[in-house]
Chains A and B, each alone.
Chain A
Amino acid sequence: MLSGLVRLIAFAAFCAALVAGPACADAIDDALSGFTTDKYDDTDKALQGLVATAAPNGLAVIEALAAGRLLFDPESKTVLYKDASGALKLAKTGEPAPAELAGKPLKTVRVNNRLRRAVDAAGGAFELRSPDAAKRAAAARAVFKTRESTALPAIDHALADEKDAAAKKALEQARAAIILGKADAPEAERAAAAATVASVADPDALAALRTLPADTPVSVKAAAEKGVAAIERWATVANVIQNLVYGMSLGSVLLLAAIGLAITFGVMGVINMAHGEMVMIGAYATFLTQSLIGAYLPALNSASLVIAIPVAFLVAGAVGALIERTVIRFLYGRPLETLLATWGVSLILQQAVRSVFGPSNRTVQTPEWLQGSIEILGVSLTWNRIAIILFALAVFFALQLLLRRTSLGLQVRAVTQNRRMAGSMGIRTPRVDAMTFGLGSGVAGIAGVALSQIDNVSPNLGQNYIIDSFLVVVFGGVGNLWGTLVGALSIGVANKLLEPFAGAVLGKIILLIAIILFIQKKPRGLFALKGRAVEA
C-alpha cells in the first residue's frame, strides 16, 4: 500500500517535471543537497526532487543509492557516487570526481526500509526513459500491472519518442490499461483500450478488465466482457495444450519404462516381472555413478547424468543377461511359469538393493542444464520433462534402428519369427536370447536414469511402473515397437486429459477399466501382429 503511494507520488512528480520541460540546473542542485544532511526525510525529499527535475544522471544516482554507493562530502556538500566498477563520480553530471575529493572522508547516504520503496518507485519512473529498450518495456509492464492513472503523461511522453517495437507495444498496452479505467476518457477510446488490454491475455489483463467501476459506460463494459471471454477462451485452449504436453511427458515416461519390456515381452515372449527392478537398478547405477564422480572426478559433475546412461545400460543389461542364463532359459515356452520365476527374481533384487543401500530414498542430483523451465504459449515446461520426452524418443528410434539395421537385430527378428528355422540357418539362438534379454534389460536401465530425475530412487521404484508397462505393451500390441510408442503416448495423454474431470486416482481407475475393455475388443492390442498361429 505504502509502496503504491510512494510510487504514485514519484510518478506524479516525474510527470510534472516532464510537462515542465527540461530541468534547470539549480533545481537539480537543490534536490541533490537533500542527500547531504544525513536525515532520512531529507533523503526522501531529495529523491522526489530528483524525479521531479528528471535529472539526466538521476537513474545512476538512484541505483547507487539502492546499492549503498551514494556518498557525500560533509564539508563541501558535494554528492558523489561510485559506479559499479568502483570509480568515484559526480552525482550531478556523472563526470569523474576531481582528485581532491577522493582523498576526503566521504560519508555514505543511508537508506532504511521505507526509503528503499521510494528508491524503487523513483527507479521505475526513470526506467521509462532508460536507454535500454528492454528496461523501458519492463517499466511499461509494471505500469500495466498497477494501472496508475498518474503515470499517463509519462507514458504518453515516452510513447512519442519510442522507436523500439516491443517497448512501444508494452507502452501502448500500459496506456490502454490506464485509459480503460479512466472515467473521463472518451467512451470509444476506452472500448478500444479494452480490446488492447485483452490482447495481453494474462492475469493482470483479466484483473484490469474485471475491476471496472460500476458507472462504466455500457459499450466499454461490453468490450471488456468480450475481452474477458476471449482471454478465458484462450485459457481453455492453453489448458488443453498444457494437458497434452503433460500427457506427452507422462507418456514418454511410460514409453521409457515399457520399451525394454516391449523387447523382452513383446519380442521374446518372456513375461519379465523383474522388469521394474531393471529400471530400479538403472536408477541406482545413476546414483552410484554420480556419487563416484562427485567424489573422485568433480570436474565431470555436470556430465555425470550422461555418463550414467551407458553405465546403467551395461549394469542392468548384465543383470538381465545373467537372469536369462540362470533362470529364464529353462522356462521358454512356459510363459506363466516365467512370470512366477521372474516375480521371485524381482523380490530378491528388491531386497538385495534394500540390504545394500538401505530402504530410504536416494537423491540423484539434477544437473544445472536440466534445471529451470521455459514458457511456450503460456505453458510452463520444466527442462527435465522436455529432456525426458526427447530422450524417450531418441531411445525408441535408436532401438528401432538396432532391430532394423544391424545383424543382431536381424537375428533377433529371425529367432522371434521362427526359432527352429533360425537355428537351422546357423543362428546361435541361445546367444541371441541372452543378448536380446540383456538389450531389453539395458534399455530398462536407461529408463532408470531418466526416472531418477522425476521419481524417488528407492527399492520400490520399479514396482510403480511394472503394471503400467505391461498395460502399455499389451495395449499397443505385443511384438510391435510402434504399438508401444502409440500405446504409451495415448495412455499418457488420456490420463492427463481425464485428471481435471475425474481427479488423479479416479482418472487412473477409469483408464484401467478402459484398457481392460479395450483388450476385450482387440485382444491383440492396437497393432496386432498378423500370423497363422491359432494359439499364442
Chain B
Amino acid sequence: MSRYRLIDGAGLIFLAIVLALAVLVPASNLWLAPDSALHIPDYLVPLLGKYLAFALLALALDLVWGYCGILSLGHGAFFALGGYAMGMYLMRQIGSRGVYGNLVLPDFMVFLNWQELPWFWLGFDHFWFACLVAIAVPGLLAFGFGWLAFRSRVTGVYLSIITQAMTFALMLAFFRNDMGFGGNNGLTDFKEIVGYPLQWAETRAALFAATAVALALGYLLARWVVTSKLGKVVVAVRDAESRTRFIGYRVENYKLVVFTLSAMIAGVAGALYVPQVGIINPSEFAPANSIEAVIWVAVGGRGTLVGAALGAVIVNAGKTWFTGALPSLWLFALGGLFVATTLLIPKGVVGAVTDILGIRRKSELPAAPGVVAPKTAPAEPAQ
C-alpha cells in the first residue's frame, strides 16, 4: 500500500536536501569566514533563493500539468500576481524614504501626480494582509477562470491558449501607467521587510530559509493532494477524462480544486521571489515566462513533483551560467532543451534516472500520458 504513503523514497531525499539547504546556506553565508572554501558569498544567497522560488512555481505547475493534465501557459500570471502583492507591501514600507519623500504615496504615484492612495492599495502596509492577498488573488483568479473554463469543458490545447491569452492580457494591463501598479517600471527600490533592511545579509539569509521551508511545505501539500483520494480522481481525469465523467465524478470540480490550489502555491512563490530579486515588473506576465516554467517541469520530469523542482533549479542554474559565459548561445541551448527533452527524455531527468537504475517501483504514480500512451488517446491528431 505504499501508493498512499505521503513521503516516498525520493520525497524523503528531496525534503532532506531542501531542509538541509534551509539551514546550511544561511549558516555558511553568515558564520563561515569569507575565505573559507565552503563560504557562500552574499550575491549567491538571493540567487539560490530565486531558484527555490522558481522550484515552488514548477511544483505548482506540475500539480496541474503532471497530475491533472491541464497544461497551463499562464502560471506566470499567478506567480507575478503574488509578486505584485508582496511588492506593494514593500513599496508601502519605503515610506518617506522615496525620492519624493512622500510618506503615503509611492514614488511613481507622486510622479504621475496622484493625490491619494487608490483603494486597492489600502491595507498593504500590513505584512499579513500582503501575504493574504498574495495567496488569495491568484486563487480567486484561478477559481474564476477555471470555473468558467472547466464547466464549459474547454480542454487541452484550447485551455492552454486561453491561459496564455489571460497572462498576455494581464501583462498589457499592468504595463498601463493608470492601472496604479507602476506601469512598465513596475515596483522596485524596496528598503525593508517587516522592519529588517533587505540589504542585510541576515535578512537575505532568512528569506532564503523561508523560501526553502515554503518549498518543503509546498511539496508536502502537493504530495498530500496527489496521494489522497482526490489525487487519484485527478489522475483519472488526466488519463481518461470522459470515462471519469461517465463513472459519475464531477470532473470540473476536481480540476477546479487542483487548479486553484496550484495558483495559490504559485502566488506564494511569487511573493517569496520579489523581495529576493528586489523588483517586480509587468514582463513577469510575459507568456514566454510561463512557457519557460513548463519546460522546467518537463526537464525535471512531469508528474513527479520532485523532478519539477529539480528541473527548475537545473534550467535556471544553466541560464545563469550561459547568460554570463555565452550570452548569444543561451537561446540555442534553451530551445535545444525544449526539443531534446520532448523528443528524447519525455519523462524528464527523474524519469530517465529511474529508468536507467531499472527501478520499477509500484509506488510511482502512473506515468504521464504520451509516455505510456493511454488506450483512449486518439491515434490521429485533430479529431
Contacts and interface: CB of A to CB of B under 8 A. Distances in A.
Interface of A: 266-271, 273, 327, 330-341, 343-352, 354-355, 416, 418-420, 463, 467, 470-471, 474, 478-479, 505-506, 508-509, 512-513, 515-517, 519-521, 523, 531, 533-536
Contacts of B331: 347-348, 350-351, 354
A519 B154 contact: yes
B98 to A, nearest CB: 27
Interface stretch (B121-129, B222-230, B354-362, B371-379): B371-379
A479 B382 contact: yes
A118 B303 CA distance: 86
A523 B154 contact: yes
A435 to B, nearest CB: 15
A476 to B, nearest CB: 13
Contacts of B287: 467
B328 A351 contact: yes
Contact of B295 (A330, A340, A506): A340
Contacts of A467: 164-165, 168, 287
A335 B158 contact: no
15 contacts: A269-B382, A273-B291, A333-B370, A341-B339, A344-B339, A345-B338, A347-B335, A352-B332, A416-B382, A506-B173, A508-B172, A509-B173, A520-B152, A523-B158, A535-B383
Contact of B338 (A341, A506, A519): A341
A299 B379 CA distance: 53
If over half of B's interface residues share one DSSP class (helix, strand or loop), that class is named, otherwise mixed; here it is: helix
Contact of A535 (B152, B155, B176): B155
B5 interface: no
Contact of B169 (A416, A512, A535): A512
Contact of A344 (B162, B335, B380): B335
Which of B176, B298, B380 is most buried by chain A, counting CB atoms within 10 A of its CB? Answer: B380
Contacts of A420: 379-380
Given A344-B334, A350-B331, A509-B173, A336 B157 contact: yes
A509 B169 contact: yes
Contacts of A337: 342, 346, 370
Contacts of A333: 370, 373, 377-381
B149 interface: yes
Given A335-B381, A467-B287, A340 B343 contact: no
A474 B341 contact: no
Given A512-B169, A523-B158, A536-B156, 13 more contacts: A267-B382, A333-B373, A339-B71, A348-B332, A348-B336, A351-B331, A420-B379, A478-B382, A506-B176, A516-B165, A516-B166, A523-B153, A531-B383
Contact of B148 (A338, A478, A517): A517
B383 A340 contact: no
B96 interface: no
Given A519-B162, A535-B242, A355 B328 contact: yes
B164 A470 contact: yes
A316 to B, nearest CB: 18
B156 A336 contact: yes
Nearest to A524: B158
B175 A340 contact: no
Nearest to B376: A535
Nearest to B340: A344
A337 B149 CA distance: 21
Given A267-B382, A534-B242, A335 B153 contact: no
Given A355-B328, A520-B148, A535-B241, A345 B335 contact: yes
B382 A268 contact: yes
A508 B165 CA distance: 11
Contacts of A521: 152
Given A351-B328, A478-B382, A536-B382, A344 B376 contact: no
A335 to B, nearest CB: 5
A335 B332 CA distance: 23
Contacts, number: 164
B294 interface: yes
B344 to A, nearest CB: 10
Contact of A347 (B161, B334, B382): B334
Interface string B279-309: 0000000011001001100100000000000
A-B interface, 10 closest residue pairs, ranked by CB to CB distance from nearest: A344-B338, A269-B382, A269-B381, A347-B335, A348-B335, A419-B380, A351-B331, A533-B383, A512-B169, A344-B335
Contacts of B336: 344, 348
Interface residues of B, number: 55
Contacts of B332: 347-348, 351-352
Interface of B: 71, 148-149, 151-158, 160-162, 164-166, 168-169, 172-173, 175-176, 241-242, 287-288, 291, 294-295, 298, 328-329, 331-332, 334-339, 341-343, 346, 370, 373, 376-383
A536 B382 CA distance: 6
B118 to A, nearest CB: 17
Nearest to B337: A344
Contact of B343 (A341, A478, A506, A517): A341
B377 to A, nearest CB: 6
Contacts of B149: 520
A255 to B, nearest CB: 18
Contacts of B338: 340-341, 343-345, 347
Contacts of B160: 271, 336, 339
Given A347-B334, A471-B161, A513 B169 contact: yes
Given A517-B148, A519-B154, A521-B152, A340 B161 contact: no
Contacts of A330: 343
Contacts of B154: 519-520, 523
A9 B242 CA distance: 90
A257 B154 CA distance: 24
B70 to A, nearest CB: 10
Given A351-B332, A520-B148, A270 B381 contact: yes
Contacts of A508: 169, 172
A271 B157 CA distance: 8
Contacts of A349: 335
A480 to B, nearest CB: 12
B13 to A, nearest CB: 27
A437 B175 CA distance: 36
B147 to A, nearest CB: 9
B343 A536 contact: no
A535 B378 contact: yes
A450 B241 CA distance: 43
A339 B160 CA distance: 10
A254 to B, nearest CB: 14
B375 to A, nearest CB: 13
A474 B158 contact: yes
Query: Which of the listed residues B157, B165, B295, B382 has the most CB atoms from chain A within 10 Å of its own CB?
Result: B382
Given A339-B71, A479-B382, A533-B378, A327 B172 contact: no
